[in-house]
Amino acid sequence: MDKTFALGFPGLTTSTKKQVVRQITIDLTPDEAQNLEKYCEQTGQAVSNVIEELIRGLSVT
C-alpha cells in the first residue's frame, strides 16, 4: 500500500522565511499499513502526524 505524506523541514527556509514542505512517498506492506491504520484509529491521530512524530524522535548524530 502506498501512502503519501507532506512533511515540513523547518531547517529549509526561503528568503521570505516560509516553511518549506517536502512531500515523500513510502511503500508499506499490507501488515505495516494495517498496523499504522489500527494505531491511528486507537489513538485518534492522523497518519501524517504519527509519522512526523516518529521522525522527530529519530536521534541524529
pLDDT at 2 over 80: no
pLDDT at 29 over 60: yes
pTM of the model: 0.62
Query: Domain-by-domain residue ranges, the chain?
Result: 2-56
pLDDT at 12: 52
Give the position of cell 536521534: 59
Q: In the predicted model, what is the mean pLDDT of residues 20-47?
A: 95
Q: In the predicted model, what is the mean pLDDT of residues 23-51?
A: 96
> In sequence order, which residues have a C-beta less than 8 Å from that of residue 57 and are 6 or more positions away?
none
Q: Is 10 helix (H, G, I), strand (E, B) or coil?
A: strand
Q: Is 7 helix (H, G, I), strand (E, B) or coil?
A: strand
Mean pLDDT for the chain overall:
82
Beta bridge partners of 26: 3
Q: In the predicted model, what is the mean pLDDT of residues 29-55?
A: 96
